[in-house]
Amino acid sequence: MMRYWAFLVGKLAGIAVVLLAAWRLVHVIWPGPDPTLRYKMQPFGTDLGYTMALLGIWLLGVGLVYLAILDQRYRCRACGRRLHMPVSSGAWNSILLRAPRTDYICRFGHGTLRVPDVDLTGTPQPDWHSVDNMWKELEDLETADK
């Protein structure tokens, strides 16, 4: 679990570095108000190029944070690796009884993630099920059959 959150913090720190570099680049290109002027006008809101550059940085930041959170949703809660092997289940002709969903699994057997494909109750919340020991669960299934 620590690794999962550490990965998110690392991604957000990387985004902050990228945005700070873009901010510095914009201020190298637009050095600020002319120091010889009596009334110094800040370029934000008065210089279209500068204002559009800041808008671009804002949009870049929002997009990167969105992608980081979207990527984090499909990561293993235990080891932080990307989840694999999506399996669709449920039926579209009976969405109330067997709502369609997609199951993802961690390659190293830490757990499964169930993502509902239908949005019935607001934002669909992914459902994480951790698996303590998948070999023990398989053995339990086998003994339950006998």
Binding site for Zn ion (CB under 5 A): 76, 78-79, 106, 108, 110
Which residues touch 123 (CB under 8 Å, ≥6 apart)?
none
Residue 53 Cβ vs Zn ion, minimum distance, rounded to whole Å: 41
Q: What is the nearest approach in angstroms of Zn ion to the Cβ of residue 34? A: 57
| Nearer Cβ to Zn ion (100/109) | 109
Nearest residue to 7 (alpha-carbon basis) of 106, 78, 101, 97:
78
Please, what is the minimum distance in Å from the beta carbon of residue 18 to Zn ion? 27
Comparison of 54 and 106: residue with beta carbon closer to Zn ion: 106
Cβ distance to Zn ion smaller for residue 64 or 79: 79
Q: Smallest gap, in angstroms, from Cβ of residue 121 to Zn ion?
A: 28
CA angle at 123 for the pair 120 and 128, rounded to the nearest 5° = 100
Give the nearer residue to Zn ion in terms of CB position, either 132 or 145: 132
The C-alpha atoms of residue 144 and residue 9 are separated, in whole angstroms, by 43
